[in-house]
Amino acid sequence: MSRRPRALITGASSGLGSGYARTLAAEGYDLVLVARREARLEELAEQLRTTQNILAEVAVADLSTRDGIDAVVEIIATQPIDVLINNAGYGLRGTLLGTSAAELNDQDRVLTGAVRDLSLAAARRMQARGRGGIVNVSSLAAVTTMGQYAASKASTLVFTEALAGELKDGPVTVTAVLPGFIRTEFHSRLGVERPGPGLIWLDVDQVVRESLRDARAGKVVSVPGWGYRLAALVAPVVPRPLMRWGSTGFSFARTRRQ
């Protein structure tokens, strides 16, 4: 009897992570759901067990801590994982100068350190088994200068591209997803308004659908939404002074809404 494929998803309790979980469960994947909020994880896991008849395991872990990262690495090292989706992340309300070093370090560990450690652990195991896929959720913010969030997302993008280069022509794929604005709880948690017109906001299902399609096609970088794909093509030729000006303007607007 063949085993069903299994996916591990970080940041699975809400938003994009929950979207990946629902989509993969509907496709027949068993799941390992990772996040800090146990109650929401258990609720989602039970719902997917009941509606999709899959196995859903809950792993409560704080990826801003070494212990939390190590706990998830241990799962990857000891259990078969066919797909890893590094989605955990969060924003900070304050400016760089107004945020403590500890808060910046915690955020960077979630957005960059955990992604690196989990990806490497999974890639080694997947290589040994001869199959697997890794999806790292970066952000289109990676091409901007919007604080530590952008810096960490840029690091994740470059790391993913580098790992994909090492795994080129092998059985394991690695994809960086660069979403633009998505309709999730991200901005409400920050206590800020959603910027811009409604048409720039993507649905979770669209981002999940397009990014999984690109990952399965072996693409190294996935940018969901045709408008954002165009922006990603244009961004490299935008002069950095202009990019800094635009990024600073956005940050000021966000600060005023706090």
Provide the H-helix boundaries in 55-203. Answer: 66-78, 101-108, 114-129, 147-166, 186-190
CA distances from 138 to 88, 90, 155, 219, 241 (A): 10, 12, 9, 14, 23
Looking at 20, 29, 90, 149, which residue is catalytic?
Answer: 149
- Whether residue 29 lies in the annotated active site: no
Among 48, 34, 159, which residue's Cα sits nearest to residue 85? 34
- The pair of structure tokens assigned to 3 is 């085993």
* Beta bridge partner(s), residue 58: 33
Looking at residue 130, its amino acid is G
Q: In what order do the strands lie in the sheet with 30-35?
A: 56-60, 30-35, 6-10, 83-86, 132-137, 172-177, 221-222
Q: Which residues are catalytic?
A: 149
